[in-house]
Homo-oligomer: A and B are copies of this chain.
Amino acid sequence: MAETAQQIADDLRARIDSGEFAPGDRLPGEPALVRQYGVAKMTANGALKILVAEGIAQARTGSGTYVREFKPIVRDAVKRLARSQWALGSSIWSADVEDRPRDVADLDVSEIEAPKWVARALGLNEGATVICRSRLYLVEGEPVQSAISYLSADLVRDTQIAQPDTGPGGTFKRLEEIGSAPERFEEDLRARMPSAEEAERLQVPAGTPVVEIYRTAFTGDGRPIEVNRMLLDAGSYVMRYRFES
């Protein structure tokens, strides 16, 4: 009795790992922990907070604290390589069905002065303007990713890329039509905790990191043509890459 918050959390974690509490199950609440371990309410609260911060549990005010589940969407960055070339059953995480209802929200197109890092990534002069297209992706009504892409305004201002609806085939098809088809891509990924605004926008529960991806698209002759900054809810995604040699 009279344990510390960390010890209570360790105990609960062990009981979760043992299968005593399955994903979706409700954990003992604060009053129960106060009784069972003989601690103050705030200590019990602290124990549950530790599990929430670890992403193991999820608190629902007024209801209880529940064991969290992980059903990722597989984000396959290199789709062109036919899956058949690869061995079967190699997936580590049980991929979610790809048929979940998807949606796009907050679509916005604007022309702005290029931020420094964008100018650098696109090889533009200081003060050049870019078309930026931002959007929010939803799966089953829940936001899972935000994206904002930047293209040289001089290059695409007069194309459909500067319009909310880019038309059939999208941005890349339009780029191809003006002789700037993207052929090579580079993605830089970083994982970190979200800021308060990011957590709000993506509706990520506490204890869930985000994955920040910067994708630069290059033409066949090596010109950077687009930069796309994506922010993914790490609790909703598995990123997949395939490469050779």
Query: Which A residues form the contact surface with B (CB < 8 A)?
Result: 10, 13, 53-55, 72, 74, 77-78, 80, 85-87, 89-93, 117, 120-121, 123, 183-196, 207-211, 214, 216, 218, 222-224, 234-235, 237-245
Question: When chains A and B are docked, how far (Å) is the Cα of A29 from the Cα of B4?
Answer: 24
A85 contacts B245, C-beta separation under 8 Å: no
Complexed CA–CA distance, A72 and B192 (Å)? 12
Partner of A238, one of B85, B87, B188: B188
- List of B residues within 8 angstroms of A245 by Cβ: 80, 183
Q: How many copies does the complex hold?
A: 2
The docked-state distance in angstroms from the alpha carbon of A108 to that of B202 is 41
Task: Please state if A191 and B91 are interface contacts (CB–CB under 8 Å).
Answer: no
Which residues of chain B are near A92, meaning CB under 8 Å? Answer: 117, 121, 188, 214
Interface centre among A77, A187, A239 (most CB of B within 10 A): A239
* Cα A120 to Cα B94 with chains together (Å): 12
Given A184-B85, A222-B85, A245-B80, A211–B191 Cβ distance below 8 Å? yes
Closest residue of B by beta carbon distance from A120: B89
- Residue contacts A-B, CB under 8 angstroms, 26 given: A13-B195, A13-B196, A54-B194, A54-B196, A80-B245, A85-B222, A87-B123, A87-B222, A90-B120, A90-B224, A92-B121, A183-B244, A183-B245, A184-B244, A186-B241, A187-B240, A187-B241, A187-B242, A189-B189, A189-B211, A190-B237, A191-B234, A192-B208, A192-B235, A193-B207, A243-B243
A243 B185 Cβ-Cβ under 8 A:
yes
Residue of B nearest to A118 (CB): B92
Residues of B within 8 A of A93 (CB): 188, 190
Sample of 8 more A-B contacts, CB < 8 Å, known A77-B241, A87-B224, A185-B243: A54-B196, A85-B222, A89-B123, A183-B244, A188-B238, A193-B208, A193-B209, A241-B241
Which one of B54, B85, B183, B239 contacts A195 once the chains associate, using CB atoms below 8 Å? B54
A234 to B194, CA, bound (A): 13
Which residue of the partner chain B has the closest CB to A229?
B92
Closest to A185 in B: B243
